[in-house]
């Protein structure tokens, strides 16, 4: 079984072996905690929790207004929330993705992980899963807050509300996966945290500003089909298309291609982003630190 090259008489370990599943779980948990700064000095906790507070604040305000004025219509729409606060979400992604992706590279500890029974895939999936979970928590908390608010404010048609909130939660999961994939891939290309932050935010700003400008031009020329299809090129608009066409939400972003076809195209792009991110990250970490 364990073929020994040298057996110089040390005592063998014959306790339980916890195996790959355990490694994967531990890595995932470790990365998830790191994404929120838990188990790290207070300095690292400030930013994620401050940003989470900023994200949650409008939801709380909206609930307070709706309850005080007894006008449930005042509540922010569930599916629109992530898009209204996209800048803050993007900053969260930009500051926390490098925490997961760049630190191991910078301190050259990746080979130490791979000297244990950790596959490249496990390592990458743990990081991706942890980042996506952290983002999902960030995005889902205000949606749940709004839903609780709608229950307190006694909104009519409970059924529709529950359905919309559930749809928005699925939307949050898609947001989380797509954003985490993009953020980690970009951040993994540099070992420097500051540069990683700047690179992720620059990607977000360029894609969003560029696409919204082009959409503005297309709209001015009344080419609304083009407005919709251009939306596929910016991350937040892309996921909103999935929400609108496949999850029955109202449109928040600038445009969406019409019909189920547009939604499926957007979903296909989302899946492609996640599916491509895994091998790219795997390649990046396989070679890291061995030179």
Task: Provide the 3-class DSSP secondary structure of residue 289.
Answer: coil
User: In this structure, are residues 78 and 140 in contact, taking their beta carbons and an 8 Å threshold?
Assistant: no
Which of 169/184 has CB closer to other proteins? 184
| Cα 67 from Cα 65, distance rounded (Å) | 5
Cβ at position 130, least distance to other proteins in Å = 17
Q: What are the residues binding other proteins (CB under 8 A)?
A: 40-41, 43-44, 46-47, 50-51, 54, 87-88, 91, 94-95, 189-190, 192-195, 197-199, 201-202, 205-206, 209-210, 213-214, 216-217, 220-221
Question: Minimum CB separation from other proteins for residue 113, in Å?
Answer: 19
Closest CB to other proteins among residues 151, 214:
214
Q: Which residues contact 242 (CB under 8 A, 6 or more apart)?
A: 171, 174, 263, 266, 267, 270
Shortest approach of other proteins to residue 193 CB, angstroms? 7
Cβ proximity of 175 and 242 under 8 Å: no
Q: Shortest Cβ distance from residue 205 to other proteins (Å)?
A: 6
Q: From the CB of 221, what's the least distance to other proteins, in Å? A: 7
Q: Which is nearer to other proteins, 77 or 193 (CB)?
A: 193
CA separation, residue 147 to residues 8, 69, 138, 157, 250 (Å): 65, 17, 15, 13, 17
Nearer to other proteins, 205 or 275 (CB): 205
Choose between 23 and 197: whose C-beta lies nearer to other proteins: 197
Q: Is the dihedral of CA 220, 226, 228, 230 positive or negative?
A: negative
């Amino acid at each position: 079984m364990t073929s020994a090259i040298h057996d110089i008489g040390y005592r063998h370990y014959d306790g339980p072996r916890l195996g790959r599943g355990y490694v994967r779980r531990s890595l995932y948990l470790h990365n998830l905690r790191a994404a929120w700064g838990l188990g790290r000095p207070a300095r690292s906790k400030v930013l994620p929790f401050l940003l989470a507070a900023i994200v949650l604040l409008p939801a709380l305000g909206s609930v307070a207004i709706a309850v005080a004025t007894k006008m449930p219509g005042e509540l922010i729409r569930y599916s629109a929330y992530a898009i209204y606060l996209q800048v803050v979400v993007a900053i969260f992604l930009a500051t926390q993705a490098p925490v997961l992706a760049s630190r191991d590279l910078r301190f050259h500890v990746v080979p130490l992980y791979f000297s244990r029974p950790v596959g490249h895939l496990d390592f990458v999936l743990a990081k991706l899963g942890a980042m996506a979970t952290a983002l999902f928590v960030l995005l889902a908390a205000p949606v749940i807050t709004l839903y609780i608010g709608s229950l307190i404010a006694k909104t009519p048609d409970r059924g529709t509300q529950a359905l919309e909130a559930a749809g928005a939660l699925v939307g949050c999961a898609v947001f989380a996966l797509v954003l985490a994939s993009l953020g980690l891939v970009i951040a993994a290309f540099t070992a420097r945290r500051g540069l990683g932050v700047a690179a992720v935010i620059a990607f977000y700003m360029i894609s969003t500003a560029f696409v919204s400008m082009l959409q503005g031009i297309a709209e001015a020329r009344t080419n609304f089909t083009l407005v919709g299809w251009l939306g596929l090129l910016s991350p937040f608009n892309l996921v909103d298309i999935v929400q609108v066409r496949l999850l029955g939400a109202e449109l928040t972003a600038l445009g969406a291609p019409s019909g189920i076809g547009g939604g499926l195209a957007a979903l296909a792009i989302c899946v492609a982003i996640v599916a491509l991110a895994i091998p790219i990250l795997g390649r990046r970490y396989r070679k890291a630190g061995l030179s």
